[in-house]
Structure 1
Amino acid sequence: MTLDEKIGQMTLFTTDWGSTGPTIREGYQDDIRQGRCGALFNSHTTAFTRQLQEIAVKESRLHIPLIFGYDVIHGYKTIFPMPLAESCSWDLAAIENSASVAADEASAAGLHWTYAPMVDISREPRWGRVMEGAGEDTYLGSLIARARVRGFQGENFDHADKIIACIKHYAGYGAPIAGKDYNTVDMSERVFRDTYLPPYKAGVEAGAMSVMTSFNEYDGIPATANKFLLQTVLRNELGFKGFVVTDYTGINEMVNHGYARDLSHAGELAVNAGVDMDMQGAVFEQYLKNSVEGARVTEKTIDASVRRILEAKFALGLFKDPYRYCNAEREKTVIFSAANLEAARDMARKSIVLLKNEKSTLPLPKKMHSIALVGPLADAKSQMLGAWSGAGDGESCISVKEALTERAAKNGFKLNYVKGCEIEGDVTKGFTNAVMAARNSDVVIAVVGESKEMSGEASARSDLSLPGVQEQMIKELVATGTPVIVVLMNGRPLTIPWIAEHARAILEAWWLGTEAGPAIGDVLFGDYNPSAKLTMTFPRSMGQIPIYYNYKNTGRPYDPNSKWTSKYLDGPNAPLYPFGYGMSYSTFKYDSMQIARTEFSMKDSLLISVKVTNTSEKEGEEIVQLYVRDLVGSVTRPVKELKGFEKIKLPSGQQKIVNFKLTAKDLAFYTADMKFEAEPGKFWIMIGPDSEHLQKREVNLIK
C-alpha cells in the first residue's frame, strides 16, 4: 500500500441524503476510486451500498472494500424506544434483543457498523443526549452497555446479520458543565474512574470493535488527542484491540479548543494519541502525508491504525465477499417483519413508567362511555420515533389516536379527540374545544411533552418544564373535574411538580418508536401491567439540577429542622421522583430481609435475601433493588450505590424469596492511593423497590 492508500483507509466521509434518497457527490466517488476513502456513513439500502462498494472493489487499485456506518441508535427502520426509555425496563435480555433486531435490519440494508451504544453516564437532564444513554447509574449503565454491544455484534459475523458496535463518547461526554452540549467537562481522575469509566470498560469487555472519541476535553486535553484516555486507559488498561474513530470533525475542533495551532497540527496530535479514523474532517486526507514526510508522525503509527481498520473488514468477511451485506431479498423480508414489530411493541410496553395512579384510575375499564384525547402529541406520528431515529419513517408509526380509535371501535366507547395546542408557542384558542371534550367525557388522556427536536445532539434546554402552553391547558382540563391522565413524551426528565400534584395518573412514555400508540394503549387499558422504573432522577425544580441518588453526604448532611445543613431555603432536597421509582397496577410488600452473617472476609461472599409478596389482585412484575453504603473509607463514599437487582413476576397473593450475593469486589472503589480495592469496615446493605424506600442491615467486612 502506498502512504496515500493507507491514509485513505483512515478517512471516513459521509454521503448525502436528498429528498429522493441517498446521493453522493462525484468528488467522493473519485475519492473511492483513488483509494482516498476507506469508509462511508449515511449510506444505506442494499442498492446504494452495492453501487458504492462496486466502485471500491472494481475501480480502485487495491480493491479494498468499504465499510458502511450509520447511526443505528434505537432501531433501523423498526424503531424501538429511545435508549433511556429502554433502560427503564431494567430488562437486559430485552435490551440486547432490541439491539439485535436493529442490527438484523441494518445489516439487511447494506450496513456494517453502527455508532452505538452511547454509554455515557449522565446526571445532567439539561443535556439533550441523555436520551441516548442508560441514565445516571454506573452499575446499571455498565450492564446495559454490555447487553447492547452483544446485541449489535452477536457471537460473530458468519451470517451477515450483525454489525460492528461503537462505544461512545469516550470519555466523560455525559458531564458537560451547565448541561450544554459540546461544553467543557471538569472531573477528577477518581470521579472518572469510579463513575464514568466502567460502562466503557464493560463495552470493551463485551467485545466492541470500535470506540468513538468525544468532543469534550478531559483534564485540559481534548479527548481526540488525549493519550491518557486513548493509550494509558483504553489500550493498556482495558486492552482494547479495535479501531478508534473521531466524532464528526472532532480533529478539526481542536483548533477551536486552543489545543492545536492549525489543522495539520491537530491531525498529528490525534493520530499520535491513538486515533485511527478521521470522521468527515478530511484532516488526515489533506495533511497526514506531509506530517509523515516531515517525521512528525511515523509510518509505523499509520500502519498500526490501518491494520486495525483492515482487521475489522476481515472480521466482517468483506474481503471474502464484499457484497455479503447487500442482499435485496433479505432487505425486503427482514425490515418491518411481524416478529420485529412485536418485539418493538413489547419493548415499548416494558419502557413505560407509571409515575402516579391516584384512586386506581388506571387501568381504564374496557367498557367506557367516552374518552377525551387531547394534546399536541396524541396524533403526532413523526414525533413518536424520537430523536436519533435515523432511517425511521414517521408514517410507519402508530399514533396514540390511531391506537385508541381502534380500541374505541372494538370496545364501544366514544373517542373525543382535540389537539388543544401545539408543542411550542403561546396560542390557546384550542383550549375551548379541549375543555368541552373533557366535560363531555368520563376521563381525559392528555398526551404532552417535548418535540423530538428538543432532545438529542445540540439540544440542551435551560428550562425543563413542559414547553409552550401545554401545562396551562392541563390546568384548565383539571379544573373541569374530569379525571386527567397525563401521558408524557419526552427525551429527558422534566420538572412537572404541578402536574404531579393534580393529575389523577401519569405515564412516562418517553419516545417509544414505531409501536408507541399500541404500547401506550396496552398499558392504559391493562393489557400490560407496567413494571418500568426510572433510571434518571426527576427534579422538582431547575435549581436542584444536577440531582442524582448516589450523592456524597457532606459534613453537614440534610436536616429539615436545622438551617445550618446542606439544603435549600425555598424548596425540599428530595426529588420529585427518585432513581429506581416506578409503580405497577400490582402492589408489593417487602419484609424479612436477611443477611447470612454480620461479618465476612475479603475472600468470602455475603448472601442477602428479602421476601417480596404481591399484595394485590393482579399478577405483576417488580424490580427488587440492592444498594450498599460504605460507612467509612479512605476517601468519602456515596450515600448509596446500586449493586444488584432482580426482576420478578408474582401472581396475586404469591411471594418469593429474592436472593443476592455480594463479594469484596462489589464493594471496591478507587482508594486514597488510587488502587481499585475494597477496604475493611462497616457497610449498610439496603433492599427496596427504589432508591429511597429501603430496608437496611449493617455488616462488617474484614481482611
Structure 2
Amino acid sequence: MKFKLKISLCLFLALPLSVIAQNKYPFQNTKLDFKKRVDDLVSRMTLEEKVGQMLNAAPAIPRLGIPAYDWWNEVLHGVARTPFKVTVYPQAIGMAATFDKQSLFKMADYSASEGRAINNKAIEMGRSGDRYVGLTYWTPNINIFRDPRWGRGQETYGEDPYLTSVMGASFVKGLQGDDPKYLKAAACAKHYAVHSGPEPDRHVFNAEVSKYDLWDTYLPAFRKLVVESKVEGVMCAYNAFQTQPCCGSDLLMVDILRKQWNFTGYVTSDCWGIDDFFKNHKTHKDAASASADAVLHGTDVECGTDAYKSLVKAVKEGKLLESQIDVSVKRLFMTRFKLGMFDPKEMVKYAQTSSSVLESDEHKAHSLKMARQSIVMLKNKNNTLPLSKSVKKIVVLGPNADNPIAILGNYNGTPSVLKTVLQGIKEKLPNANVVYEKAINFTNDTLLAYRNYSNQCSFDGKQGFKAEYFANNELKGNPVSRQEQSLEHAWQEGQQVGEGIVARNFSARYTTNYLSDADGPVTFEIEGDDGYRFKVDGKEVINAWTRNRWGAQQYKLLAQKGKSYQIVLEYWQGDGKANIKLSAGNYQKTNFIALVERIKDADAIVYVGGISPQLEGEEMKVNFPGFSGGDRTSIMLPKVQTDLMKALHGTGKPVVFVMMTGSAIAIPWEAENIPAIVNCWYGGQSAGTAVADVLFGDYNPAGRLPVTFYASDSDLPNFSDYSMTGRTYRYFSGKPLYGFGYGLSYSSFKYEQLIMPAQIKGGARLNLSVAITNTSNITGEEVVQLYISNPNSKVKSPIKTLKGFERIVLKPGERKVLKFSLSPRELSFIKEDGVAQVIKGKLVISAGGSQPDEMNPTSGNLLKKTITIL
C-alpha cells in the first residue's frame, strides 16, 4: 500500500499544474501579472501551509496543486552536488584570476542551462522536490577575501571590492538570463555582509567594523548586485554584526538592504543559521523568538533546520502577525513564478532545455578555456618555460600531481572525465618517458605505500566485502545487501546507492575477513565523509562517528601470517557528497637522496604541490600542521615541500613548481631559487590539460592574481580583526612577494598615450584611453588595469584601488586602444561616516599590466597622469 502511495505522489508531482487543479484559481491564470497571481495564491493558504513554504525543503500543497520544492542548490563553478554528470569549471578564485568578465558571464550562462536541464529532468522523474535539482542557486559568494588564512576564500572573487563587484555582476547576468519575463535561474549574493572567517568561530563570532570599512570594503559588491544587477536572492551570514545575528541585523537587513537599496527579492538564512540565534549567539531565548525576529528583519527562508516551524506558535503568541508572514511567503512565490514554475512548459523557453546540454562540447571547451585563462605564471627565469616537447624523460612529482580532489575544488559537481596534471603531461608527451612519484604528502614525507589487499578479503567464501546499505543514517531496519570487491565509493548527494536508497541520510556496513599473508604491521586507512567506525575482531579501534568531513584516520594492525581478522567498517552520510574508502599498506619515509638519484637523468622536473580542498574549506575537521578547522594557521608553504624542492633544485635540472591553491601561499625560498613557478588554483575538470598547454607552450598564460601573495605570516594582522588596516593591496604598506594583479606572459607589451583631460567638474564622468602594443613575436593576452590613488593624505582612502580592467588578445606587433569611462561613484571615496563623496582636488590615474609601483616585466612600462577634480 505504501509503495502504491509513493508512485501516486510521484505521478502527482510530475503532472502539469493545469491537469492537477484544472485552472480553477486566479493564480493559475497566466494572463494575470505575477503580483496578482502571488497575492491570490497566498490568500488561499493556511498559516501552517505558509510557514511550511518558508523552509528550504518546502512541502507540496496538493489541494492547491503546489508541488514540493527545495530551495537549496549551488552553482559556484558549475552546477554542484547534483546526482547528474555536469561540466566543472575552475574554482571561483581561479575564475577571478582570468580577469575576464565575458568568460565568467558565459560560464554562468552555460551552468544555468545545465541547471535547467537537470531541473527539467527531475520534474520528468517526479523528483522536483529533491535537493540540488532546483533553480534557486545560493551563489555567488561575494565576500571579500580579506585574509588568506580563510579556508572559504577560494569560493570568492578575491580581495578587491571592484573586481568582486564586476565579476559578481557578470555571473548574475549570465545565470539569470535576459528573458523579459522569466528568470533562467535565480542567483543569490552571499554571505551578507561582514563574513570571512575564522571558520571555527563563524557561529559565535561578532564582527565589529568602522562605517568606513563597512562601506569602503564589505558592502560595495553587495550594493552592485542588489541595486544594479537585480540579483534575485541574498543569503545572510552566520556571524553576528554589531551584536545582532546578521539575519536579524537592524542595519544590514532593514536599513540598508530593504530601505536604502529597495531590495524586493528573497533572503535565505545560511544553513542552520537561525539556530545560532538561540544556541550560539544567545541573543534569543528559543526557536520561536529567534524565528519571529529573523522574519521581521526580512529573512524569508530558513535553511538546514526547522526552527521556522515554530513561527505558527510565534504568531499565536503575538510575536509577529500573520500578515508579516505573508510578506515573506509572497516574496518566495514571486521568485518561483518568475522562474516559470507555475506556467505551461511551452510558455517558458528555459523549461524546454534538453538534457543534451549537460557536458556539451561547447561547455567542456569553455571549461578548458577558463582553466587556461586562470593560470598565473609567477616566475620564468631565463625562459625556463615553455619546456620542449622533445624531452625524452620528464619527472612529475608531488601530492597534487595526480589528485582529482584538488582540481575539483569545493562546492563542485562531478564530470564524466577529468584531467590531473600527470594525465595532461602524459597526453602532451605520448613518446616521452613520464615518470611519476607522489614523493610526499602535503605536510609530511611519510607515505602510506598502498597495496592491493582485495585478494586477502572474503566473506562467506566470496572475495570482497559484504555491503549492507540502510535508508537512514543509523544502520537501522532492513538493509539492501550485495557483495563488493573493494571499498572505494564516491557519490554525489541524491545519487543511487542501492535499490530504493539514495546518497542522502543513509548508512552502510561493510564486513569482511582479512587473511594476513605475512607477520608484521599493516596499516588500514579510512577516508570518509561524514562519519565512520572501524572494528577489528569485534573491537572498535576507530570512532569518527561524529561529523568528520574530509577526515582520514589509520589503525595499525600487528598481524600474524595465516591468521584471519574480521574487519567491519560502518559509515553514515548526511547531506553533501558521500565518500568512503578503505586502504591498506605500510608507511615509508621518503628518502630524498635516493629519490634524487633515481631522477637525476631527467630532462626536466615538474613538482605539483601547494595545498588542496582536503586541507582548506568550510568548517572542516583538519588538524595538520598549519591548518585548523578549514582555515590555515600559517600561509607558509608546508616545510616538507620546500625541503623537497631544495633537493630537486640541487640536481641542476630545470625545476618547475606547479602550485595548486585556493588562497595565497608564502613561498619566499621558491620565489628566490626555483626558476619557473606557475599557479593554477583548483582548475576544474580540464586543469591538467590547461597546465600542460602552458608548460609546453601551446597556450600563452595571462592570468592575474586576485589576491596579494604575502612574503610571510608576519605580514598579516590578527585573523579575527575585521579592520582593513594593513590588509590587501589597498591598505598593505609592506612589500608583497607577488602583488594583486600580477602575472607574467610569454609575450611582452608596451603602453603609451594615456589620454585624459587635465581636469573635470565634480560629479562628471572621466573618459580616458590608453594604447597597448604587443612588442613580441608571439600572440598573447594582456590584462590592462586601471587604478586611482589620492595623494591627499588628509583624506582617508586606499593607497591605490582598481577601477577598471580589460583582458585583450594582441597578435605580434598589434596595437589596440582601450577606452575607459569612470562614473562619479568610481571617482568617489568613502568618508569616515560611511558616505560616498567625490573627492575634490588631485587624483592620480595609472594604466598598465600591474598595480602602480609594482612593475610587471612582461607588461613593460606603466603610465601615470594626474587629474584635478573641481
TM-score by length of 1: 0.85
Matching residue of 2:284: 260
Matching residue of 1:643: 803
Of stretches 228-237 and 340-349 in structure 1, the one that deviates more from structure 2 is 228-237
Matching residue of 1:284: 308
Q: Give the Cα separation in 1 of the matches to 2:301 and 2:392.
A: 61
State whether residues 56 and 71 of structure 2, in contact with CA within 8 Å, keep that contact through their aligned partners in structure 1.
Answer: no
Q: Give the Cα separation in 2 of the matches to 1:78 and 1:341.
A: 6
The aligned amino acid for 2:796 is T
After superposition, the Cα gap between the structure-2 partners of 1:629 and 1:322, relative to the gap in structure 1 and judged at 3 Å, is same
Q: 3-state SS of the aligned residue for 1:684? A: strand
The aligned amino acid for 1:699 is I
Q: 3-state SS of the aligned residue for 2:274? A: coil
Matching residue of 1:422: 441
Deviation at 1:228, TM superposition (A): 1.4
Deviation at 1:62, TM superposition (A): 5.1
1:696 to 864, 867, 870: 864
Matching residue of 1:184: 206
**What per-residue deviation string (whole Å, max 9, x for no partner) do you get for residues 234-286 of structure 1?**
1111121111100011111012112112222211221111111111221111x
State whether residues 418 and 433 of structure 1, in contact with CA within 8 Å, keep that contact through their aligned partners in structure 2.
Answer: no
1:138 to 148, 151, 161: 161
Of stretches 327-336 and 367-376 in structure 1, the one that deviates more from structure 2 is 327-336
**Pair 1:71 & 2:92 matched:** no
The aligned amino acid for 1:495 is A
After superposition, the Cα gap between the structure-2 partners of 1:638 and 1:272, relative to the gap in structure 1 and judged at 3 Å, is same
Deviation at 1:695, TM superposition (A): 3.5
Deviation at 1:414, TM superposition (A): 2.0
After superposition, the Cα gap between the structure-2 partners of 1:443 and 1:296, relative to the gap in structure 1 and judged at 3 Å, is same
Question: Which ranges in structure 2 are unaligned for 5 or more consecutive residues?
Answer: 1-44, 80-85, 120-133, 447-588, 620-629, 718-725, 856-861
1:512 to 658, 683, 689: 683
**Pair 1:660 & 2:684 matched:** no
After superposition, the Cα gap between the structure-2 partners of 1:437 and 1:484, relative to the gap in structure 1 and judged at 3 Å, is farther
**Pair 1:101 & 2:126 matched:** no
The aligned amino acid for 1:614 is N
The aligned amino acid for 1:263 is A
**Aligned-pair identity (%):** 34
Deviation at 1:323, TM superposition (A): 12
**Pair 1:214 & 2:237 matched:** yes
After superposition, the Cα gap between the structure-2 partners of 1:663 and 1:380, relative to the gap in structure 1 and judged at 3 Å, is closer
**Pair 1:81 & 2:90 matched:** yes
1:335 to 358, 364, 388: 358
Matching residue of 1:540: 711
Deviation at 1:138, TM superposition (A): 0.9
2:265 to 219, 242, 254: 242
After superposition, the Cα gap between the structure-2 partners of 1:482 and 1:604, relative to the gap in structure 1 and judged at 3 Å, is same
Q: Name the structure where helix makes up a greater proportion of residues.
A: 1
Matching residue of 1:443: 604
Deviation at 1:315, TM superposition (A): 1.0
The aligned amino acid for 2:195 is Y
The aligned amino acid for 2:77 is H
Deviation at 1:144, TM superposition (A): 0.8
The aligned amino acid for 1:203 is L
2:641 to 470, 476, 480: 470
The aligned amino acid for 1:484 is V
State whether residues 633 and 679 of structure 1, in contact with CA within 8 Å, keep that contact through their aligned partners in structure 2.
Answer: no
State whether residues 126 and 179 of structure 1, in contact with CA within 8 Å, keep that contact through their aligned partners in structure 2.
Answer: no
Q: 3-state SS of the aligned residue for 1:102? A: helix
**Pair 1:357 & 2:384 matched:** no
Deviation at 1:332, TM superposition (A): 4.3
State whether residues 386 and 452 of structure 1, in contact with CA within 8 Å, keep that contact through their aligned partners in structure 2.
Answer: yes
1:675 to 820, 825, 835: 835
State whether residues 114 and 355 of structure 2, in contact with CA within 8 Å, keep that contact through their aligned partners in structure 1.
Answer: no
Q: Give the Cα separation in 2 of the matches to 1:234 and 1:103.
A: 26
Deviation at 1:641, TM superposition (A): 1.0
Q: Give the Cα separation in 1 of the matches to 2:399 and 2:833.
A: 55
Q: CA RMSD in A?
A: 2.5
Matching residue of 1:400: 421
Deviation at 1:589, TM superposition (A): 2.4
Matching residue of 1:44: none
Deviation at 1:64, TM superposition (A): 4.4
After superposition, the Cα gap between the structure-2 partners of 1:349 and 1:181, relative to the gap in structure 1 and judged at 3 Å, is farther
Q: 3-state SS of the aligned residue for 1:529? A: coil
After superposition, the Cα gap between the structure-2 partners of 1:603 and 1:189, relative to the gap in structure 1 and judged at 3 Å, is closer
State whether residues 537 and 548 of structure 1, in contact with CA within 8 Å, keep that contact through their aligned partners in structure 2.
Answer: no
Deviation at 1:548, TM superposition (A): 4.4
State whether residues 767 and 822 of structure 2, in contact with CA within 8 Å, keep that contact through their aligned partners in structure 1.
Answer: yes
Deviation at 1:468, TM superposition (A): 6.6
Matches within 5 A, 1:477-626: 477-546=648-717, 548-552=727-731, 573-597=734-758, 599-626=759-786
**What per-residue deviation string (whole Å, max 9, x for no partner) do you get for residues 612-631 of structure 1?**
33222211111111111123
State whether residues 345 and 352 of structure 2, in contact with CA within 8 Å, keep that contact through their aligned partners in structure 1.
Answer: no
After superposition, the Cα gap between the structure-2 partners of 1:376 and 1:62, relative to the gap in structure 1 and judged at 3 Å, is same
**What per-residue deviation string (whole Å, max 9, x for no partner) do you get for residues 526-572 of structure 1?**
1111011111000100111256454459xxxx7xxxxxxxxxxxxxx
State whether residues 112 and 325 of structure 1, in contact with CA within 8 Å, keep that contact through their aligned partners in structure 2.
Answer: no
**What per-residue deviation string (whole Å, max 9, x for no partner) do you get for residues 346-366 of structure 1?**
010000000000111111222
Q: Give the Cα separation in 1 of the matches to 2:666 and 2:335.
A: 44
After superposition, the Cα gap between the structure-2 partners of 1:87 and 1:408, relative to the gap in structure 1 and judged at 3 Å, is same
Deviation at 1:154, TM superposition (A): 0.9
Q: 3-state SS of the aligned residue for 2:219? A: helix
Matching residue of 1:43: none
State whether residues 157 and 316 of structure 1, in contact with CA within 8 Å, keep that contact through their aligned partners in structure 2.
Answer: no
Q: Give the Cα separation in 2 of the matches to 1:231 and 1:181.
A: 22
**Pair 1:629 & 2:673 matched:** no
Q: 3-state SS of the aligned residue for 2:275? A: coil
Deviation at 1:447, TM superposition (A): 0.6
Of stretches 176-185 and 269-278 in structure 1, the one that deviates more from structure 2 is 176-185
State whether residues 487 and 508 of structure 1, in contact with CA within 8 Å, keep that contact through their aligned partners in structure 2.
Answer: yes
Deviation at 1:605, TM superposition (A): 3.6
Q: 3-state SS of the aligned residue for 1:279? A: coil
Matching residue of 1:566: none
Q: Give the Cα separation in 1 of the matches to 2:842 and 2:105.
A: 36
Q: Give the Cα separation in 1 of the matches to 2:599 and 2:354.
A: 46
The aligned amino acid for 2:435 is N
Q: Give the Cα separation in 2 of the matches to 1:477 and 1:369.
A: 18
After superposition, the Cα gap between the structure-2 partners of 1:79 and 1:430, relative to the gap in structure 1 and judged at 3 Å, is farther
Matching residue of 1:320: 343
Question: Which ranges in structure 1 are unaligned for 5 or more consecutive residues?
Answer: 14-36, 39-55, 559-572
Q: Give the Cα separation in 2 of the matches to 1:585 and 1:577.
A: 18
Of stretches 325-334 and 462-471 in structure 1, the one that deviates more from structure 2 is 325-334
Q: Give the Cα separation in 1 of the matches to 2:200 and 2:840.
A: 37
Q: Give the Cα separation in 2 of the matches to 1:352 and 1:92.
A: 16
Q: Give the Cα separation in 2 of the matches to 1:306 and 1:236.
A: 19
Count of residue correspondences: 635
Q: 3-state SS of the aligned residue for 2:614? A: helix
After superposition, the Cα gap between the structure-2 partners of 1:531 and 1:548, relative to the gap in structure 1 and judged at 3 Å, is farther
Q: 3-state SS of the aligned residue for 1:163? A: coil
